[in-house]
Amino acid sequence: MSNSRLRLRALFRPLVDYIADVLIRFKLTPNMITAFGAILATLTPFLMVNGEYILFGVVVFFVGLMDGVDGAIARITKKVTKWGGFLDSLLDRYGDSIIFISYLFNPVTAPLGGVEILSIQVRIWVCIAIAGSLMVSYTRAKSEATGIRESDVGIAARSERLLILSVTGIIGPLNEYILIYGLIITAVLANVTALQRIVHSYRILKKRERDLKH
């Protein structure tokens, strides 16, 4: 279930490693890059409210890129720490939530996402997207806490979700509703991914229970 995620990360791996090598020369740490990615995410509501869709998409792309760069720097410099992992996960959740909230300020869906798309208000789609995004992260953390190692499964990890938002933002000027459909697709895929991880954990834990009885 995680093949698509691995292929996407592999696609951007050369670029991520190149940027990491450059930033290492400037003595930048993984935590600095993590914080920078979170700061970039805070720009998205301001870009959205002003209809700067292309720039919105570019910023979201770099948010996702920085999420890979901080890990690459940590790996290359051998500075992988538990605090760094904790901070990365924490700021990623804040960053994702801010990006989704920015859709409430899209002029096309004013006021505050009140317009209905597929019979559901955009503000509700935003809530669904945030819930799904948080649950993708939570289900992985919870399953790993129970000792499940291969828990990073599912059709749309963070990299896929941000890429969808980025691409639909960049092509948004073609039709302003493209952004909203990007949000909807991301909301659906995030919750599907969370469900996939729940099922994955259920199967492994149930198998363990059966093995203990024999």
Convert the pLDDT of each residue in 15-74 to its tens digit: 999 999 999 999 999 999 999 999 999 999 999 999 999 999 999 999 999 999 999 999
Q: What percent of the chain has a predicted confidence (pLDDT) above 90? A: 82
C-alpha to C-alpha distance for 92 and 127, rounded to whole angstroms: 17
Fold entry, domain 3-213: Four Helix Bundle (Hemerythrin (Met), subunit A) (1.20.120)
Q: Tell me how crowded residue 33 is: count the other CB atoms within 10 A of its CB.
A: 24
pLDDT at 148: 87
pLDDT at 3: 47
CA angle 7, 126, 10 (to 5 degrees): 10
Contact between 20 and 73 (Cβ < 8 Å): yes
